[in-house]
Chains A and B, each alone.
Chain A
Amino acid sequence: MNGPGGPQEPIGGGPDDSRWENGGWDGGGTPPHGVPLPRVPLPRGAADDGPPIPVMPPAAPPALDHSTLRSLLGAWALSACAADENTAVEEHLGRCVACADEARRLRDAVRLLRNEDQLDLDPTLRHRVLAGCLGRRPARVPVPSWAVAYDAEAARLDALLADLGPDDWRQEVVLRWHQGRQVADVASVIGHLTAVDGLVAAALDLEEPLGPGPDVSREPRARTETYWKRFGELPPGRVRETWRDQGRSLVRTVAFAGNSAGGLEVDYGGPVLALEDAFLDRAFECWIHADDIAEAVGYPYEAPAPRHLHGMIDLAARLLPTAIAGRRRAGLATSPGGLTAAGEPGRSLYLEVEGDGGGEWYIPLDSPAAKGCKEHSVAHVALDGVEFCQLAAGHRTPEELAAGIEGDAGAVHDVLSAAASMSRL
């Protein structure tokens, strides 16, 4: 590189320009698909331009020569010069036709820097576009219906991450779960999702995102800490990419596996979920943590589409009886348990979830093996779907919940406490 304002400063000659110079449409001047894109004129050495340049009046501060002023035009057009340089450039433009022409063109080009990609799209558009496409030509390798919620939630979170600037990535995100709380930056939250999604990857024989080693646990919290320890220094872009790439291979793998993926189980280091339910669980976690991140950076974030929300609520409702039984064994239950034979109808709580993704569930109270039913309901809880999910995520305590409650108070307490206890980091 020459010194400042050196007359031979080769504008098109730096090493970085080689990709541009050798770009697809460099040779024939015909860009792909007929877009008439004239080749960037190879700029000349600035001092070769036109007639001899009049000597600057000695009074003009700061005294910059023509080629220096010319080299400032890009920064000037971007309003990225110092004030005195700005003044010097503008004075010069009144006297130098060549520079004035270029300055006008560069100024006009600044608005073209605006990238359409930075728009926030209506989150429902993705589903409408995909559904429209599949209506025109059915997929030969469809995404299983139980994996669609995960695919959609990961896409939503990824779109949020795409909007984050360097300062946003450093924001403190508050993670809350049942009787726990932790502050982490955005990249650490994504690392947590990557680490736990890795359990599903393991069930599908995909690569372990934490890498090899005897200390790689199956327990979500331990996995998260391992990720933080091993990859805490990764730049945000890489963290995002690792998470997203793994999520995409999960979806792609189950799409190709089709029905043969049924029957697989995902081991959470103790609790085990069927693969289908694990995908719903991961979709749920993805939404909850995306919401945590959005809150930290002050972006709006909506609830999942109703059909996806419904699947998540249904999973929580199906897991409730086991959680209730666990609390009962631990001596935490307040309502007296009864004995019910497996498969027989037993005491139940009628859970009515309102809103688009809602529905009705009868939660058996005495045993996970019992059948919930209307006839044996002893209590009724009515609440909004998002509110229920916030409870299951540990973001609300049963006491804070906005819910309509009737019937056996002990049964209600047990069910709501069990729902809250299902959350973890």
Chain B
Amino acid sequence: MATPAPPRWDRAMQQRLARGEEAALGELYDRFGPLVYGLALRILDDEDAADRVTREVFGHIWENPDAYDPRDGNMRSWIATLTQRQSVSRLRAFEAERVRSGGQRAGEPFEARVREANTAARADFIRDSMPASIRAALNLAYIQRRDYRQAALELGLSEVEARRRMRLGLQMLATAMQHPGANGGAR
């Protein structure tokens, strides 16, 4: 998982983008391109559409570098929100187009996809802001397929502490799913 960028990085990046530094644009893409494309693909389930959303999101950031205010939070979650918004609006446009051309209104399944989009963006924010120590415990279990005893050993923790971190990490992530008024999401 990506290492969270320090706030200083966010501020410096914003200033460099505002100065019109092409090199900064490349660095921005290298850091957040996979996030934007991956989130858009998860929401839209269409590679061409995800490709397009990626170009739109970066185009928007580059053209409006002052739209991001570091005081409002980190750049990553700002970009995830932009992506989610752009993807959902594309999803709605697809759906409207489908209905106009005689398709059945999808209703609940469609709204479920929108909810899922919001959840995905929030989950990214939570993964990004959770303490590295908790993320490390989750990764060992989820990616490296260690059980909690092996994880405890590798991280130099008591077994109780390894269990605690796994449970706490999942509790944090679970909050991405419970939210009132899911449809409007991050508007």
Residues of A participating in the B interface, judged by any CB pair closer than 8 Å: 1-6, 9, 11-12, 14, 16-20, 23-25, 31-41, 43, 71-75, 77-82, 102, 105-106, 108-110, 112-113, 115-119, 121-122, 125-126, 128-130, 132-134, 136-143, 151, 155, 158-159, 165, 248, 251-252, 255
For A252, the closest partner residue in chain B by CB is B23
Q: Which residue of A3, A31, A37, A40 is within 8 Å of B160 (Cβ)?
A: A3
Q: Which residue of B21, B160, B176, B186 is within 8 Å of A141 (Cβ)?
A: B21
Question: Smallest CB–CB gap between B29 and chain A, Å?
Answer: 6
- Chain B residues with a Cβ closer than 8 Å to the other chain, count: 86
Chain A residues with CB below 8 A from B147, complex form: 75, 80-82
* Docked-complex contact A71 and B164, CB < 8 angstroms: yes
Q: Which residue of A12, A38, A71, A112 is within 8 Å of B178 (Cβ)?
A: A38
* Docked-complex contact B134 and A16, CB < 8 angstroms: yes
Q: Can you name 29 A-B residue pairings with CB atoms under 8 Å? A: A4-B160, A5-B160, A6-B160, A12-B168, A18-B131, A20-B129, A32-B72, A35-B186, A36-B186, A37-B179, A38-B175, A71-B160, A71-B163, A74-B169, A79-B141, A80-B146, A108-B174, A112-B127, A115-B38, A116-B34, A122-B51, A130-B58, A132-B55, A133-B63, A134-B22, A139-B22, A141-B21, A141-B23, A255-B23
Most buried by B among A12, A74, A128: A74
Q: Which residue of B2, B22, B127, B172 is within 8 Å of A143 (Cβ)?
A: B22
With contacts defined as CB atoms under 8 Å apart, how many contacts are there between chain A and chain B in the complex? 266
Interface string of B46-88 (1 = CB under 8 A from A): 0000010011001100110000000011100110010000000
Residues of B participating in the A interface, judged by any CB pair closer than 8 Å: 1-2, 19-27, 29-30, 33-35, 37-39, 41-42, 51, 54-55, 58-59, 62-63, 72-74, 77-78, 81, 118-127, 129-131, 133-134, 138, 141-144, 146-149, 151, 158-181, 185-187
A17 to B172, CA, bound (A): 11
For A107, the closest partner residue in chain B by CB is B170
- Beyond A140-B19, A248-B27: 13 further Cβ-contacts under 8 Å? A11-B168, A17-B168, A32-B78, A38-B179, A75-B148, A80-B146, A109-B176, A112-B177, A115-B124, A116-B34, A125-B37, A139-B25, A143-B26
A187 to B81, CA, bound (A): 35
Question: Smallest CB–CB gap between B28 and chain A, Å?
Answer: 9
* Docked-complex contact A137 and B172, CB < 8 angstroms: no
Chain B residues with CB below 8 A from A40, complex form: 171-172, 175
* Docked-complex contact B186 and A132, CB < 8 angstroms: no
A255 to B21, CA, bound (A): 8
Q: Which residue of A20, A77, A117, A133 is within 8 Å of B34 (Cβ)?
A: A117
Chain B residues with CB below 8 A from A132, complex form: 55, 58-59
Q: Which residue of A17, A37, A110, A252 is within 8 Å of B122 (Cβ)?
A: A37
Q: Which residue of B25, B30, B127, B130 is within 8 Å of A115 (Cβ)?
A: B127
* Docked-complex contact B38 and A126, CB < 8 angstroms: no
* Docked-complex contact B35 and A25, CB < 8 angstroms: no
- Given A3-B160, A20-B129, A115 contacting B170 (CB threshold 8 A): no
- Given A32-B78, A117-B34, A132-B58, A14 contacting B73 (CB threshold 8 A): no
* Docked-complex contact B171 and A106, CB < 8 angstroms: yes
Q: Which residue of A37, A81, A139 is within 8 Å of B20 (Cβ)?
A: A139
A252 to B162, CA, bound (A): 43
* Docked-complex contact A110 and B170, CB < 8 angstroms: yes
Chain B residues with CB below 8 A from A9, complex form: 160, 164
* Docked-complex contact A4 and B159, CB < 8 angstroms: yes
* Docked-complex contact A109 and B170, CB < 8 angstroms: yes
* Docked-complex contact A74 and B160, CB < 8 angstroms: no
A72 to B51, CA, bound (A): 41
Most buried by A among B62, B63, B185: B62
Chain A residues with CB below 8 A from B160, complex form: 1-6, 9, 71
* Docked-complex contact B119 and A11, CB < 8 angstroms: no
A19 to B176, CA, bound (A): 18
- Given A25-B73, A40-B175, A116-B42, A34 contacting B134 (CB threshold 8 A): no
* Docked-complex contact B1 and A117, CB < 8 angstroms: yes
Chain B residues with CB below 8 A from A133, complex form: 25, 58-59, 62-63
A24 to B185, CA, bound (A): 19
The 5 closest A-B pairs by CB, nearest first: A116-B38, A32-B73, A74-B167, A140-B20, A74-B166
A125 to B39, CA, bound (A): 15
